Amino acid sequence: MKKTIANPAPLGLMGFGMTTVLLNIHNAGFIEMSSMILAMGIFYGGIAQLIAGWWEIKQGNTFAGVAFSSYGLFWFSLVGLVLIPEIFPNFSPSNDSMAVYFSMWGLFTGWMFLSTLKMNRGLQVVFGTLTILFFLLAIGEYNPTIATIAGYEGILCGFSAIYVAMAEITNEYSGKVIFPLGPVE
């Protein structure tokens, strides 16, 4: 008897999308940084994406496995960058180091975006807006206006991931395309 597992991508996309929206509502200046954002970063952005990534790897999907696992670990590292200085004040990251951190994630995400060119338009929007977000965050380390703009762009990025997740769930469950993802032909 062949065992299969359900599509883990919606879990990973929701973990990424909801956490990204909440963090960027903060970056846009609407709410303060709080344990709510950090907890989402650890448990939904971090753990849920790691689980989804490992399930994708088990299914032989290298792209999704690397993407979800990497961004799950991104959330852990970002929360660490916020919390470690609370414990060890001499280990606060500088603006320069954070700009390099976000730039490296931007380079990784830009490369991942290239892989989506053979996938669907929904994923292209997610990875395209995420690439832009990381570079805006890097520049925003030196310019508060750009940091605020990054917040708005991050909200768009997060909601695009939520849309793709919900479209995948709804379309799979209904057996037909209700929410289009824009297949690439």
pLDDT digits (tens, 9 = 90+) for 10-47: 999 999 999 999 999 999 999 999 999 999 999 999 99
Torsion of CA 179, 151, 54, 172, to 10 degrees: -10
CA distance 109 to 61: 17
* Contact indicator for 153, 133 with CB cutoff of 8 Å: yes
For residue 4, the model assigns a pLDDT of: 76
Burial (0-12, 13-18, 19+ Cβ within 10 Å), 152 = middle
CB atoms < 10 A from the CB of 89, how many?
8
pTM reported for the whole predicted model: 0.95
CA distance 78 to 74: 6
The pLDDT confidence band at residue 160, using thresholds 50, 70 and 90, is: very high
Backbone φ/ψ region at 19: left (φ over 0), alpha (ψ -120 to 50), beta: alpha
pLDDT digits (tens, 9 = 90+) for 129-141: 999 999 999 999 9
Share of the chain above pLDDT 90, in %: 95
The pLDDT confidence band at residue 5, using thresholds 50, 70 and 90, is: confident
Structure tokens at 51: 């689980």
The pLDDT confidence band at residue 184, using thresholds 50, 70 and 90, is: confident
Report, as an integer, the average pLDDT of 100-104.
98
